[in-house]
Structure 1
């Protein structure tokens, strides 16, 4: 794939070059042949906004690159490069949605606003959007209650095996220290400078025992919109409602008063979606708020072993509600469920899954005659277990690849699952230690935190075209900063052999210096090190990264003459910034 991409890029680019452009390999690049005016060199033209991003770009802002005042002066690696990366700064793939760096909060994290260390980490992470109240809990969550559900909510619900179990409801007005109230969720967003995306309790429309369960549940959701009063623009109706593990999947028809079937279908969800959306939009109009409402889809063709609900889900939802939804929601956990996946398998999933999702959804839109709309991946992570994969440096490297692929494949929104979870012998999807990881302080960031933070800090506001030659192990995601201007590159070595990488910039005149951060794993826990080192600085304890001083780590810097060249260690990421030459 890498070689094919490079050949196609080279043919398209070099066949279109003007005679005044520099020869390949001239890293000063540009149509002005290194002249004094950057306007004749760097002139990006934005393509039309992809429908799958849509209005998620309404909040897009140009990013400014600031040249570091201090740096660690370093000699660029000597000798011939083993890999060449060619970047066309004028070939814009897409503007970068600010909502692709999101995460998930949940109701068992505690009140959050009482945890200053956690709030500072979230502020530095700058995910821009944080989802609540938390996955499947949304099905049993009553935002306006403090200790008891409504009278028409049954004491027991069906589990994934079809057995009735205690309902286990959660409440948005519960202010006890062990849970997260809706008001403290709002305060956390305000204090960390993020937006929210909220999932309303759709399952209540299924298991409610009153005479009009759908209308009652839709009214509850609309009242939440009123209470929210414009603080939240993005709303989801339900969570994985097709799943056998969800409270929406199976109900007792004997206690249902509006003739619903025992097992949910996509068609039924689509019919209910429209009722919810109408009520919620009416509530938004009352408060003068603008809201966007998402419907759930499956992001891959159902396998033969899946339920009939799954096999017909997208057909039912798109046929009934495809034109009523403002955006579409998918979830994906990339690797096989509870498989002890290798590092190579995890890395490959990061490369392949986002593109596979988008191709499938576009095919589904076409098949069912629905106009493509923004796509939100509101839960993603890996399912790999058994070797502490989820808390490893490889998980951080994979997260870096996923972010690049989400941008390239033009998603509108994405939220990784989740901010904190539970240790479970290292099978912990949490970005932070909730307090039960042996030998690690509470809220200690896992490696993925550092990778995702550096990506959103040092990747620009536009993705531009790049091509790699020399090794199929090396990936590049390239960007431009509008203000500066500057180039921001994410270089990833997925292999076990270090590489020397040379950067060739076309339509861009680089300044005399360039700057970078290198992220590598440790030598603990085989290929799944629980540590990450940034420019050589790592954790003081058994896991994570340089939590005490990550904001004080200086970038490496070298002169750009005669080449822009960096060392890319095995299974490592380099975040590279190249300012433009002025004058």
Structure 2
């Protein structure tokens, strides 16, 4: 099969390269599908390129900038660290977290550049209110100053990433932090969009001294109350900000559903529900729910590493189970629009641990980041970008103003995800029940003629993957293999830039100034020879990974990835646009809307231009639709290419202010809480209805 399908004269037709008969186009009804036998010892895998599962957003490649590397008055900011911006830009990180970890709980803001970084909780400074001259009682022992913020702003623009600012909630001083927003986003144009409040108050009872409460239950609610006060103060300066919390040190402290550790030890707590509940009742849901994850804490051995990083039970517990519970809680508290983020992720909680930055860590990264995205995580922060503790992707040659940057093995793993992986996760599976030989597959909205996959072999033996692909006809491809001469080395030498043997297709990345991009571009691709029909076969050594970039000579994959709006009112229908790339004006499509209750509707639509498909719901029989969330499947009529959007469409009625598919007491409460307000933020909440009688008429599901 070398071409097609094409629809002509009432039949689907395929172009066939026959072994004996003349080559040409054949009617599908007269063909018999034959699946080639699995090569001996191969692992069967499947990819459905026509079914998008979830996005793989650039923010999944987020990285942390740890503030002790740029401590005020002691060290230069990130923009002054040699060519760190050049090295980071190659990774295409969607977001930078500027954070001191637990340092932030003692950090203050000083626009005057007068405060020194103390490094010592015993030596504290106090903030003075510029309006009243009053000395704020909280004693700070760390500082963000204007010079640090200026360097961060320049660095983010050079790298092309959003910024997540971590700020202190223990001081209960929203006015000071609102001044930082003013400095960064009003007086300057740094546009720091995300603001995360404090750090790991769930760890070691940090909530006691930080929030001043006798019980953790009281402390969790106090955090939620302060969170809203901070949000109000900071939004008054910049209404475009997004806020993140509760930043637990592990996911198990998010929900009371986990009452004990897997071995029956520590009691867990319940940090997420009070925050999302308090936020939702205020009229604005939590923007982003955040937490941290480090799966190891004991001394390293290969058996321990394999259990904690590669055992499928552990990986599903920390990914599938956690994501399911977080999404369940968000739905319970009418916060389905809340995004999710891990804002610190690495293999081990301690410094100077090889797996945080060596080849094993890189393999784990290449499985765990796609796995999280596949299960609905919106953003991730790899802990961290630059340091000297073996947590980092890159290190430097030391001093207050480093002059050289060096890559550790995990830098290579992140590079694979930035250069050879797409932005839309599609359906994939492996027949390996232990999931130690896996495939993750993507489509790329910027390159719709390609299917981009990551193969990861976590086994101690070589393996061959036999990948059967639906929704895409592979014709040729190239590969980039991530290998290491001593892949199970757990000494620090395995992560040392001077001694590690991490390579992509045999190439070591040159991170010296001016050479990063040319060094990456010089990596020679390997030609994939194992393509037959719709099957791609590829062999990998033990403990290795490969990025497979597959091309097709046929029609490019249908690339439709999102909607221009998340909801439409059934009693005030409007035009909706499906956004994508590579479309042709007036191109015809079949669109199916599938509800959670099993309803299914089919509509005929057309592309408006190269980037959008128009759906005019005012022409549909909307009285047939039940309010709720609908999955959207789109099929191109010319070739039958299909895709299912990861984003669902909410069809609802006027008065559904909480956007949950029904009008209830929550909506009435929200409307009344904004009554008589002329603030734009309050008007935006109720922009769809100003008539309480209409709301009452739509009461109920």
Give the alignment's TM-score, normalised by structure 2. 0.60
- Note the C-alpha offset of 1:396: 0.6
Partner of 1:462: 424
Q: Select 2:274's aligned residue among 316, 319, 332.
A: 316
**1:353-368 to 2 correspondences below 5 Å:** 353-366=318-331, 368=333
Q: Select 2:503's aligned residue among 509, 533, 546.
A: 533
Q: Distance in 1 between matches of 2:457 and 2:407?
A: 23
Q: Distance in 2 between matches of 1:125 and 1:36?
A: 45
Q: Distance in 2 between matches of 1:487 and 1:267?
A: 47
Q: Select 1:375's aligned residue among 337, 340, 344.
A: 340
- Note the C-alpha offset of 1:185: 0.3
- Note the C-alpha offset of 1:137: 2.6
**1:329-348 to 2 correspondences below 5 Å:** 329-340=289-300, 342-344=304-306, 345-348=308-311
Q: Select 2:221's aligned residue among 255, 258, 267.
A: 267
Counterpart contact for 1:296–1:328, Cα < 8 Å: no
Q: Select 1:281's aligned residue among 206, 219, 235.
A: 235
Q: Does 1:503 align with 2:458?
A: no
- Structure exhibiting the larger radius of gyration computed from Cα positions: 2
**Runs of 5+ unmatched residues, structure 2:** 1-10, 28-37, 71-76, 116-125, 129-134, 253-257, 556-701
Partner of 1:518: 481
Counterpart contact for 2:62–2:380, Cα < 8 Å: yes
Partner of 1:170: 143
Counterpart contact for 1:203–1:241, Cα < 8 Å: no
Counterpart contact for 1:81–1:501, Cα < 8 Å: no
Partner of 1:566: 538
Q: Does 1:197 align with 2:170?
A: no
Q: In structure 1, the residue corresponding to 2:364 is in which secondary structure? A: helix
Q: In structure 2, the residue corresponding to 1:204 is in which secondary structure? A: coil
- Per the alignment, do residues 547 and 291 of structure 1 end up closer, same or farther by CA in structure 2, a change over 3 Å counting? closer
- Note the C-alpha offset of 1:27: 13
Higher RCO, Cα 8 Å, sep 6+: 1
**Runs of 5+ unmatched residues, structure 1:** 1-18, 38-77, 157-166, 176-180, 206-213, 254-259
Partner of 1:139: 105
Q: Distance in 1 between matches of 2:191 and 2:26?
A: 47
Q: Distance in 1 between matches of 2:487 and 2:543?
A: 14
Q: Distance in 2 between matches of 1:433 and 1:318?
A: 38
Counterpart contact for 2:197–2:247, Cα < 8 Å: no
Give the alignment's TM-score, normalised by structure 1. 0.71
Q: Distance in 2 between matches of 1:508 and 1:155?
A: 60
Q: In structure 2, the residue corresponding to 1:497 is in which secondary structure? A: coil
- Note the C-alpha offset of 1:296: 1.1
Counterpart contact for 2:57–2:94, Cα < 8 Å: no
- Per the alignment, do residues 576 and 261 of structure 1 end up closer, same or farther by CA in structure 2, a change over 3 Å counting? same
**1:413-432 to 2 correspondences below 5 Å:** 413-423=379-389, 428-432=390-394
- The structure where strand makes up a greater share of residues is 2
- Note the C-alpha offset of 1:105: 0.7
Q: Distance in 2 between matches of 1:245 and 1:547?
A: 46
Counterpart contact for 1:81–1:565, Cα < 8 Å: no
Q: Distance in 2 between matches of 1:358 and 1:218?
A: 31
Partner of 2:55: 95
Counterpart contact for 1:518–1:572, Cα < 8 Å: yes
Deviations 1:357-398 (A, max 9, x none): 212212333555654511121111122667622221000111
Q: Distance in 1 between matches of 2:432 and 2:525?
A: 26
- Per the alignment, do residues 400 and 525 of structure 1 end up closer, same or farther by CA in structure 2, a change over 3 Å counting? closer
Partner of 1:104: 64
- Note the C-alpha offset of 1:410: 1.1
Deviations 1:7-37 (A, max 9, x none): xxxxxxxxxxxx9799xxx999xxxx99799
Q: Distance in 1 between matches of 2:486 and 2:538?
A: 22
Deviations 1:282-319 (A, max 9, x none): 2114xxxx2222231642235479999x6243343233
Q: Does 1:291 align with 2:241?
A: yes
Q: Distance in 2 between matches of 1:380 and 1:189?
A: 21
- Tell me the matched-pair count: 471
Q: Distance in 1 between matches of 2:269 and 2:143?
A: 31
Q: Distance in 2 between matches of 1:96 and 1:350?
A: 18
Q: Distance in 1 between matches of 2:444 and 2:24?
A: 19
Q: In structure 1, the residue corresponding to 2:50 is in which secondary structure? A: strand
Counterpart contact for 1:346–1:398, Cα < 8 Å: yes
Q: Distance in 2 between matches of 1:236 and 1:564?
A: 43
- Name the stretch that deviates more: 559-568 or 477-486: 559-568
Partner of 1:233: 193
Q: Distance in 2 between matches of 1:373 and 1:322?
A: 10
Partner of 1:406: 372
Counterpart contact for 1:329–1:378, Cα < 8 Å: no
Q: Distance in 2 between matches of 1:171 and 1:481?
A: 38
Q: In structure 2, the residue corresponding to 1:362 is in which secondary structure? A: helix
Partner of 2:415: 453
- Note the C-alpha offset of 1:576: 0.2
- Note the C-alpha offset of 1:170: 1.6
Counterpart contact for 1:137–1:170, Cα < 8 Å: no
Partner of 1:250: 209
**1:18-37 to 2 correspondences below 5 Å:** none
- Note the C-alpha offset of 1:338: 4.0
**1:142-161 to 2 correspondences below 5 Å:** 142-145=108-111, 146-148=113-115, 149-151=126-128, 152-153=135-136
- Per the alignment, do residues 552 and 217 of structure 1 end up closer, same or farther by CA in structure 2, a change over 3 Å counting? same
Counterpart contact for 1:139–1:201, Cα < 8 Å: yes
- Per the alignment, do residues 374 and 27 of structure 1 end up closer, same or farther by CA in structure 2, a change over 3 Å counting? farther
Partner of 2:361: 395
Partner of 1:48: none
Partner of 1:63: none
Counterpart contact for 2:437–2:459, Cα < 8 Å: yes
